[in-house]
Amino acid sequence: MGLKEKLHSFKEKHQGKKWLPAFSAFHTFLYTPNETTHSGAHVRVVDDLKRTMNTVILALVPCLIFGMFNAGFQHYQAMGQAVDFLSWETLSIGLLKILPLLAVSYIVGLGVEFIFAVIKGHEVEEGYLVTGMLVPLIVPVDIPLWMLAVAVVFGVVIGKEVFGGTGMNILNPALTIRAFLFFAYPTWMSGDKVWVHGAVESAGTPDAISGETILGNLAQGNDIAYSVSDMFFGFIPGSIGETSTLLILLAGLFLIFAKIGSWRIMLSSVIGALVMGLIFNAVVDAGWVAETSKFYALMSTEYWQHLLIGGFAFGVVFMATDPVTASQTDKGKWIYGFLIGFISILIRVFNPAYPEGVMLAILLMNVFAPTIDHYVVQGNVQKRLKRLKEKTA
């Protein structure tokens, strides 16, 4: 008897046991389940939830690896030491800081999922696979591990399990986790210390280094100190995985190609952001904003540069397109995406305390997604009723 049959017969033998969902979760990683449907029409597809999730994770891996190099690179840059981007020194810092974050995110998050699966007696849901990967990519590199653990428990339980688990959640779990961290421990999630490894420890000493992000600097009225190519390729401080617009763009194309990410949402978000950026640029050009205004630096930022800085690109490609929390209708997706882009830039400019507007914009639109869908569907119903009336009249 091969391993495959052994595992299958093991499962049959322990049918109905409490911990079986936990076993099944690992089992289906390796093999297709051996249950067959006995009645009714059914469709078998290869791209089930687990495969879909794996595809997204695949798209995230380049961002993660780049983030590891970048974490070390930013550290040495801030210390004033010249170092190659692709070198062992940069990678080792990245590995040392980011692997624990990844481990905490997965162990705690999957732990909660397993506990809930065993209590409720259903299969372990795969929803956390992507969330667990996203979480380390959207936090600053120096965040304490226990804070991440607390936030993950909160995000998975309150953000997802109370609504009934994967597929039932209203808010994107990864962003719920980030928002929790943001409001619970603001000193670790914003400001000029946390974005570069070593800046927290060195604060107040003569060797103090700054770890401010571009958005943070802009909010204080400073100019962008990085070239456009740096911002595009991602050699800038920021949350771990969101700095490289190039890699995110490639990942986005990959997701669209694999028909997992919605191109409607991505495109309309970008349009929304550009429109808001253009409006702000126009306001500045018209001279309606004094240069002394605290909004001036962010408002006068070239409209297209908003796409390169901060977590906008990452949020739009990986979070706004979350199939559970986004709008489901095609027309709804256009509205949903456009408003995400529009509101992101709006929050960025007008609320310097929350420089990362895209997180709040996506969470806000998550809440409105069902409403948008409702009106899109109702609009369609009305249209068809009218047509019916004209025909029968």
Interface residues toward other proteins, by CB under 8 A: 144, 146-147, 150, 158, 162, 180, 183-188
Q: Which two tokens stand for residue 217?
A: 């600097």
What's the min distance (Å) between Cβ of 158 and other proteins?
6
What's the min distance (Å) between Cβ of 274 and other proteins?
32
What's the min distance (Å) between Cβ of 137 and other proteins?
22
Q: Which one, 157 or 256, has the nearer CB to other proteins?
A: 157
Q: Which one, 146 or 257, has the nearer CB to other proteins?
A: 146
Sign of CA dihedral 249, 229, 61, 189: negative
What's the min distance (Å) between Cβ of 122 and other proteins?
16
What's the min distance (Å) between Cβ of 373 and other proteins?
21
Q: Which one, 176 or 344, has the nearer CB to other proteins?
A: 176
Q: Which one, 181 or 215, has the nearer CB to other proteins?
A: 181
DSSP conformational letter for 307: G
Which residue type is seen at 296? Y
Sign of CA dihedral 166, 357, 59, 112: negative
Q: Which two tokens stand for residue 222?
A: 């400073």
Q: Which two tokens stand for residue 254?
A: 């990959």
Q: Which DSSP helix (H) or strand (E) runs through 95?
A: helix 88-120
Q: Which one, 303 or 368, has the nearer CB to other proteins?
A: 368
What's the min distance (Å) between Cβ of 184 and other proteins?
4
Q: Which one, 36 or 187, has the nearer CB to other proteins?
A: 187
User: C-alpha angle 310/289/358, rounded to 5°?
Assistant: 20
Which residue type is seen at 106? Y
Q: Which DSSP helix (H) or strand (E) runs through 305?
A: none
Q: Give which of 146, 175, 144, 145 is closest to 158, Cα–Cα.
A: 175
Q: Which two tokens stand for residue 85?
A: 């981007």
